[in-house]
């Protein structure tokens, strides 16, 4: 989705520069190109930030899965201990 937006932005900038080139000065075309370059740079930085956020989310998800697994093991151990204690209490009974 971001790639489509970036491509559309670049095409818009190029199209705008082309449309202005018929009546634009060299200076205004250079300014338009500089603006397009800035937009592309900003889009690339945003994509890098999005990739970092995705990596962080993936790491958090993995940590949550490990925590869930540990909690499940603890619950199973507690249930086994409770059953064992009940058996011993019944044997003494």
Q: Over the stretch 33-80, which tens digit does the pLDDT of each residue have?
A: 999 999 999 999 999 999 999 999 999 999 999 999 999 999 999 999
**For the chain, how many structural domains are there in total?**
1
**By residue range, what is the domain housing residue 54?**
2-92
Q: Report in angstroms the alpha-carbon separations of 82 from 55, 70, 72, 93.
A: 41, 18, 15, 16
Whether the pTM exceeds 0.85: the reply is no
For residue 9, give both structure tokens.
């932005």
Q: Would you say 43 and 2 are in contact if contact means Cβ atoms under 8 Å apart?
A: yes
Apex CA 14: angle with CA 11 and CA 16, to 5°?
Answer: 105
- The C-alpha R_g of the chain, in whole angstroms, comes to 31
């Amino acid at each position: 989705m971001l790639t489509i937006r970036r491509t559309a932005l670049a095409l818009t900038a190029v199209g705008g520069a082309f449309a202005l080139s018929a009546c634009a000065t060299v200076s205004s075309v250079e300014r338009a190109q500089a603006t397009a370059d800035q937009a592309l740079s900003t889009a690339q930085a945003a994509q890098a930030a999005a990739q970092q956020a995705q990596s962080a989310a993936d790491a958090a998800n993995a940590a949550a899965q490990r925590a869930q697994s540990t909690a499940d093991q603890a619950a199973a151990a507690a249930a086994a201990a409770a059953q064992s204690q009940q058996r011993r209490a019944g044997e003494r009974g």
